C-alpha cells in the first residue's frame, strides 16, 4: 500500500479526483437548490436538472470511450477539465449579466466532457499502475466517490446556503482547474498512433455488439433488467426534493440527509457484498438487491415519517453494491473477452437511456399523478426487472465460452 501511494500516477489521479468531486457536488446541489428556488419548486424544471446530468451518459458514453482509446489519455483528461472550467466561468458571467437559466448549460457541458475524461482515467490506470496494484488503486479511487456520496450533498448545500449560486459556480470552476493542475504531474503520455484506422466503422462495431448481446440469453435478460431498472430510477430520481417537502413536510434542504443515509449504506454495503461475493452466486446477489430496492421505493413513497424514510434509504444504499457486483460479474462470466467493451457500451446506455426517458417525463407525470403513485410504479418496475433475472437461477455460476 505504501508503494502504491508513492506511485506518482496514483498521487495525481487521487488528487485530481478529489478536486473533481468537490466541483461536481457543489455544482449539482447548488444548481438543484437554485432551480427549485427560482421556479417555486416547478417539477418540470427540477427534472430537467437531472436530464442535463444524465442525458450525456446515454448519448456520448460509447462515443467518448471510442475516442478516449484513440487520443492520449493525460492530454484528454486535462483538456476536459480545462474546458469544463471555462464553461462554468462563462455561465458565471451569464448569471451576473444575463439569465439564470444558463445554469443548465454548466451541468450539461461538463457532463458531456466527463464521458471523454472517465474512460481516459481507466486507460491511465492500466498504463501507469502495476498489474498487482490495479485492484487496490481502483478501490481507493472508488472510495473517493463513496465518501462524496455522503459528504457531497452536505458540502453543496452548505456552499449554496452560505454564499449563493454565483460563489458556488465560481468554486466549481476553480475546482475543475485544480483537477487539471493535479494531472500535470502525471508521467508523459506514451506515443500513440492517433491516425491509426480500423477496418470497421463505429456503427459496424455497435451493430456487431448488438447481435452478440441478442445471441446470448444471459445478456439479453440482463438488458431487459437494465432497462426496467433505468425506467424505475429515472421516474423517481428528480422527485427526491418533493418527497422531502410534500410527504415529510420538511424543508428542501433535508434532502441532503436522505442522500447521506443512502451513501453510508452504500459504503457499508460494498464491504458486505465483497465479503459474500465468493459464496453467493452473482444472479442471487442481483435478485436480492433488486427485490430490496423495490421495497425501498414503495415504502419511501408511502412513508410520512422521517426516520422511516431515512431507514429505507439506508437499506437502499446497502443493497446497491449487490446489484453492481452481480451485474458486472455476470457480464464478465458470460462475455468473451473481445466483446466485453461493446457489451458494456450497449448495456450501460440502455440503462441510462431508459433513465433519461422517465427523468424527462417525471415532472409532467407528477403533475398528473400523486407522488405515492410515482414511487409505487418505480417499485413495480424493479419487480418487473427481477422477473427476468429469475430464469438465470438455472444457469451455472460461470459460463465458459467456446466461440461466438
Q: Identify the helix (H) or strand (E) that includes residue 174.
A: helix 165-183
Average pLDDT over residues 233-260: 83
| Residues 115 and 47: beta-carbon distance below 8 Å | no
CB within 8 Å of 33: residues ≥ 6 apart? 156, 157, 160, 161, 252, 253
Confidence of residue 201 (pLDDT cuts 50, 70, 90): low
- C-alpha cell belonging to residue 10: 496514483
Residue 294, pLDDT score: 92
Q: What is the DSSP letter of 31?
A: H
Which residues are CB-neighbours of 280 under 8 A, at least 6 positions away?
A: none
The pLDDT, as a whole number, for residue 194 is 45
Mean pLDDT of the chain: 77
Work out the number of other CB atoms within 10 angstroms of the CB of residue 376.
18
Which of 356, 266, 248, 349 is closest to 314 using CA atoms? Answer: 266
Exposure letters 220-243 (e unless 16+ CB within 10 A, then b): ebbbebbbbbbbbbbbbbbbbbbb
Residue 31 in contact with residue 110, Cβ under 8 Å? no
Residue 197 host element (H or E): none
Q: Which domains does the chain have, with CATH numbers?
A: 4-185 (1.20.1250.20), 202-392 (1.20.1250.20)
First to last CA, the chain: 40
Confidence of residue 265 (pLDDT cuts 50, 70, 90): confident
Q: What is the DSSP string of 330-349?
A: HHHHTS-GGGHHHHHHHHHH
334-365 pLDDT, tens digit each: 776 556 656 766 777 777 778 778 877 887 88
Report the chain's C-alpha Rg in angstroms. 21
359-390 pLDDT, tens digit per residue, is 778 878 888 888 889 999 999 999 999 998 88
Residue 316 has a CB neighbour count (10 Å cut-off) of 23
Q: What is the mean pLDDT of residues 152-180?
A: 87
- CA-CA distance, 119 to 349, in Å (whole number)? 15
Amino acid at each position: 500500500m505504501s508503494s502504491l501511494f508513492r506511485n506518482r500516477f496514483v498521487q495525481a489521479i487521487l488528487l485530481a479526483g478529489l478536486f473533481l468531486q468537490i466541483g461536481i457536488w457543489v455544482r449539482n446541489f447548488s444548481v438543484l437548490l437554485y432551480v427549485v428556488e427560482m421556479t417555486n419548486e416547478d417539477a418540470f424544471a427540477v427534472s430537467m436538472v437531472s436530464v442535463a446530468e444524465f442525458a450525456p451518459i446515454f448519448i456520448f458514453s460509447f462515443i467518448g470511450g471510442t475516442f478516449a482509446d484513440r487520443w492520449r489519455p493525460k492530454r484528454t483528461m486535462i483538456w476536459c477539465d480545462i474546458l469544463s472550467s471555462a464553461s462554468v466561468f462563462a455561465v458565471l458571467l451569464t448569471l451576473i449579466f444575463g439569465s439564470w437559466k444558463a445554469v443548465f448549460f454548466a451541468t450539461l457541458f461538463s457532463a458531456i466532457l466527463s464521458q471523454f475524461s472517465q474512460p481516459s482515467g481507466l486507460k491511465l490506470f492500466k498504463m501507469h499502475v502495476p498489474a498487482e496494484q490495479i485492484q487496490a488503486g481502483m478501490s481507493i479511487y472508488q472510495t473517493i466517490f463513496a465518501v462524496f456520496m455522503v459528504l457531497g450533498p452536505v458540502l453543496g448545500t452548505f456552499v449554496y446556503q452560505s454564499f449563493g449560486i454565483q460563489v458556488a459556480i465560481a468554486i466549481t470552476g476553480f475546482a475543475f482547474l485544480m483537477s487539471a493542475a493535479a494531472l500535470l504531474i502525471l508521467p508523459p503520455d506514451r506515443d500513440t498512433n492517433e491516425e491509426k484506422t480500423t477496418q470497421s466503422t463505429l456503427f459496424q462495431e455497435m451493430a456487431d455488439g448488438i447481435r452478440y448481446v441478442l445471441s446470448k440469453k444471459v445478456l439479453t435478460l440482463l438488458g431487459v433488467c437494465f432497462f426496467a431498472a433505468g425506467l424505475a430510477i429515472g421516474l423517481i430520481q428528480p422527485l427526491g426534493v418533493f418527497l422531502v417537502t410534500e410527504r415529510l413536510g420538511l424543508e428542501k434542504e433535508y434532502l441532503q440527509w436522505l442522500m447521506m443515509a443512502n451513501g453510508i449504506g452504500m459504503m457499508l454495503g460494498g464491504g458486505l457484498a465483497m465479503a459474500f461475493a465468493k459464496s453467493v452466486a452473482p444472479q442471487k446477489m442481483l435478485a436480492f438487491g433488486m427485490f430490496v430496492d423495490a421495497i425501498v421505493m414503495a415504502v419511501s413513497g408511502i412513508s410520512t415519517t422521517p426516520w422511516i424514510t431515512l431507514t429505507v434509504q439506508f437499506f437502499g444504499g446497502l443493497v446497491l453494491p449487490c446489484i453492481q457486483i452481480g451485474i458486472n460479474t455476470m457480464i464478465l462470466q458470460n462475455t468473451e473477452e473481445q466483446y466485453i467493451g461493446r457489451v458494456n457500451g450497449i448495456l450501460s446506455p440502455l440503462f441510462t437511456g431508459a433513465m433519461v426517458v422517465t427523468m424527462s417525463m417525471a415532472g409532467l407525470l407528477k403533475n398528473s399523478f400523486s407522488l405515492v403513485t410515482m414511487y409505487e410504479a418505480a417499485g413495480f418496475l424493479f419487480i418487473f426487472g427481477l422477473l427476468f433475472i429469475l430464469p438465470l437461477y438455472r444457469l451455472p455460476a460461470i459460463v465458459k465460452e467456446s466461440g461466438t
